[in-house]
Amino acid sequence: MSECDIENTILKHYDIVKRLGKGAYGIVWRAKNKKNGNTVALKKIFDAFRNQTDAQRTFREITFLQAFAGHPNIIRLLNVIKADNNKDIYLVFEHMETDLHNCIKKGNVLKDVHKKYIFYQLLRAVKYLHSANVIHRDLKPSNILLDSDCLVKVCDFGLTRSLTRLHDGVRGSVESFSDTAVNSGDPELTEYVATRWYRAPEILLASSRYTKFVDMWSLGCILGEMLRGKPLFPGSSTINQIERIVSVVDKPSDEDIASLHSEYGRSILAKAFQKPRRPIETFLGADVDRNAVDLLKKLLILNPSKRLTVEEAINHSYVKKFRDPSSEIVMDHDVTPPLSDDLQLSVADYQQKLYEIILEKKAQRRIQRILRTMKLEDERSMPDRSVSLSLKFYHQGDNI
């Protein structure tokens, strides 16, 4: 795709530098903001409202990213732009140099210290999400962005869900909602091949409910992949995925199997556990950090309620070297999308609400620019000592 496929309204504000990737649903470029010179990632979502599932995913991506914009380990969405054709959507993100998938694939790029630092930052991000009673549901190495300073940014919130029911008004600690569940009937989770390797067993086994612990399983898979240098459970099908998982996890009790809330899962597990098993240590090698193995085992448990919570994981000795409790910010309220997430609405509903949000944000940015300009003019009449700071602040403003 060339620059001519990008609307002039976009090219007016951004210089396209390089195409970073293209998929069935969109394309991403590295671009430069003409106004402030900042490098950004420009993502074009093709026909964002082609059906209810795509419309809901686009809506989730944007609304949840806006809600979690204040966390240093969550990618910042700078702008949302409606395309001229009334079908496509442009998302403007802060630019990151690579992702964890590419780092792992290159081999010896990540040392032990990098792995610990990356995982600690991941735990901080998930702690923030879970404190808002929200689950990401699609944590995987390609959704974990990195820069040359090893700074982590979690991205892709298209499958994110709020666990808060609309009639609930109860608040609690980060972990008080760990057992809050949502039904697993989302069409996106049915044989979602690209991310099957990081899916929790309860999702693979068609459980009638799932909780925050689906994210904790995914974190375990990510940690294991960093330690091993390749995916832990690269299943070729759902059944093969389950077989790979049960070959290394501790054999569950009848109570553990019942906790999955899936009759289908019960029968699948009964067959799978008849096959040969091997300790997870044999996957990782003899020189792997013992603390890492201990943490991994406590995350990769078949019974969701027996996995570590994010609070327990972030207190684990594996990440102790980098632990800074003062940096582990949490939300003081539950985050819920502007439209009900319990069922799919019409394409028109998602499109209309999203366009309303875009217009509202545009108006807010316009007001902010006016206020910054007024502040700058006031400061120009003050002594020079304050001018440089205000200019620095001004240049860090939002795009467009």
- Feature table: binding site for ATP: 43
Kindly report the number of other CB atoms within 10 A of residue 254's CB atom: 8
> CA 381, CA 379: separation in Å to the nearest integer?
5
Phi, psi of 326 (to 5 degrees): -65, -20
- Check the CA dihedral 94-111-302-177 and report its sign: negative
Q: Is 294 an annotated catalytic residue? A: no
Strand-pair partners of 81: 90
Identify the H or E element spanning 310.
helix 310-314
Residue linked to tokens 């799919």: 344
Cβ atoms of 399 and 78 closer than 8 Å: yes
- Give the CA distances from residue 286 to residues 282, 289, 301, in Å, rounded to whole numbers and listed in that order: 8, 9, 22
Residue from 88, 138, 186, 341 carrying the catalytic annotation: 138
Residue burial 72-105, b: 16+ Cβ < 10 Å; e: rest:
ebbbbbbbbbbbeeeebbbbbbbbbeebbbebbe
115 Cβ contact partners less than 8 Å away, ≥ 6 residues apart: 223, 226, 227, 292
Residue list, annotated binding site:
43
DSSP state of 210: B
Long-range contacts from 270-275, C-beta under 8 angstroms, 24+ separation: 272/242, 272/243, 272/246, 273/246, 275/243, 275/246, 275/247
> In 229-289, which ranges are continuous DSSP H helix?
238-246, 254-258, 263-272, 281-284
Contact 183, 220 (CB under 8 A): no
Instruction: Give residue 209's identity as a one-letter amino acid code.
Output: R
Contact 198, 218 (CB under 8 A): yes
Catalytic site residues? 138
